[in-house]
Amino acid sequence: SFCTLLAASDSSTMRELVPTKPYDCAPFQGGKVRGLFIGINYTNSEAELKGCVNDVRTMLATLQRIGFPLQEALILVDDPAYPGCAGPPTRRNIENGMRWLSAGCSAGDTLFLHYSGHGSQRRNRDGTEADGFDETMVPLDYQEAGQIVDDDVYNMVVRPLPAGVRLTAVMDCCHSGTLMDLPYEFVATRDNMEQYAGARNSGFTEGNKNHSPADVMLFSGCADDQTSADVTGGNFKTPGNHPGASGGACTGALAEVFTTTSGLTFVDLLLGLRQSLHKRGYKQLPQLSATKPIDLTRVFSLFGPLAAVDNFQPPPGAQFNHGGQPAPPPGPPPPMAGGGYPSPPP
């Protein structure tokens, strides 16, 4: 069954990961609607964060508020008391969760992936990254099991999806701009975001050849060379948590924009995210990447195909946010996201 997968628990025994139905929703007449939600606080470790489990709570409450008809969800958090938690967010569990998310999909299915935790980089060994680094997810047991690189995320989540499947992902972690290795990235900066966002040639550029027939898009907390804020008292207008609760700034901003506005174009959504973050003093700029160069003048939706621009041409002088630069000289990998923490094993 695609609803159960074997995974390792904290005690290294084998047990099933069982999805849950996190909230009641109206019947959906389309295909399957499935979600994977991962929140890692790294409790009682030197890499501890405060708001990542809260981010899962916020995102699920946001989806419920906007009427997203989630039929089954796999929830992996390092809080065993969390309602519906399927298990701890170990590397094995996360990888099995990603395989579960993409397994057995067909045209008309709708998927959602949310990750909140540490992100990092490690030196790329096969020459496939223009900046010389792979972006990584940092599982709870990263010190023993290692990290999950962007190539593997793509191969487990995106590559298996056939045409007609829609996947929306949110990665609220550092160095997350290209964490799914999708081929097109919106290349706006703080200075030219409105100019590019308003241009129908899209402001996207092509950064790799990982083309997929599925419709996949990723909101990421920041560009590959930025860090993402884990904040206390951010005061975002979000459902699911009490005011001032800890949480990732990207998740908070996205939840606020989703639940306080409607009928947004992609342009409106990106500008709304930027404004929500900047009015609270956060410098990070959320990124958007996809399997198509999206026409940002279209109304945003979590369902259906992504409308691509006609006769796509990248903006003059644009370059992929994590590319276009020579690989750095050999040396130690950068520190783990969040600052002040030891680097995960390479």
List the catalytic residues.
Answer: 118, 174
**Edge-to-edge strand ranges of the sheet holding 33-39:** 85-87, 72-77, 33-39, 110-116, 166-172, 215-220, 287-290, 184-186, 204-206
**Residue 130 CB coordination number (10 Å):** 17
Strand, helix or coil for residue 6: strand
Q: Is 340 left (phi over 0), alpha (psi -120 to 50) or beta?
A: left
Sequence letter at residue 175: H
Token output for 50: 């405060």
Number of DSSP helices (H) and strands (E) in the chain, helices first = 7, 16
Q: Residue 152: name the closest of 217, 94, 227, 71 by CA.
A: 94
Distance CA 183, CA 75 (A): 28
Q: What is the identity of the amino acid at 274?
A: R
Please return the burial class of 83, using the count of CB atoms within 10 Å of its CB with bins 0-12, 13-18 and 19+.
exposed
Partners of 133 in beta bridges? 123
Query: For 115-164, what is the HEC assignment?
Result: EECCEEEEECCCCCCCCCEEEEECCCCHHHHCCEEHHHHHHHHHCCCCCC
Q: Is 292 helix (H, G, I), strand (E, B) or coil?
A: coil
- Tell me if 171 sits within 8 A of 179, measured CB to CB: yes
Tokens representing residue 42 in the block: 């790294």
Number of Cβ within a 10 Å radius of residue 229: 23
